């Protein structure tokens, strides 16, 4: 049996595609998301916004790759002691 796939923790940011544009969402403590930036047409600009927010808040940055599938873009969250 394989290990569970990594998932964004509460407070992390997630880059998600929306048709022809990109959105930046923040994971809430209830497992839902709060949209913090929407409609960016250039993926590079959306990734820059994602990384900037994650660095400022000291949390991780992820990209959605499908239902319940995520790829870590930047690790900012301190390792658990």
The whole-model pTM stands at 0.87
CA neighbor of 24 nearest in space, from 9, 10, 11, 39: 39
Q: What is the DSSP string of 2-58?
A: PPPPP-PPTT-EEEEEETTEEEEEEE-TTS-EEEEEEEE--HHHHHHHHHHHHHHHT
pLDDT tens-place string over residues 22-78: 999 999 999 889 999 999 999 999 999 999 999 999 999 999 998 889 999 999 887
């Amino acid at each position: 049996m394989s290990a569970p796939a990594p998932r964004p923790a509460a407070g992390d940011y997630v880059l998600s595609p929306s048709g022809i544009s990109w959105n930046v969402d923040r994971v809430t403590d209830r497992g839902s998301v709060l949209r913090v930036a929407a409609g960016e047409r250039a993926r590079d600009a959306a990734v820059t916004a994602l990384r900037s927010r994650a660095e400022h808040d000291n949390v991780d940055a992820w990209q959605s790759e499908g239902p319940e599938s995520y790829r870590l873009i930047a690790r900012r969250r301190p390792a658990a002691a």
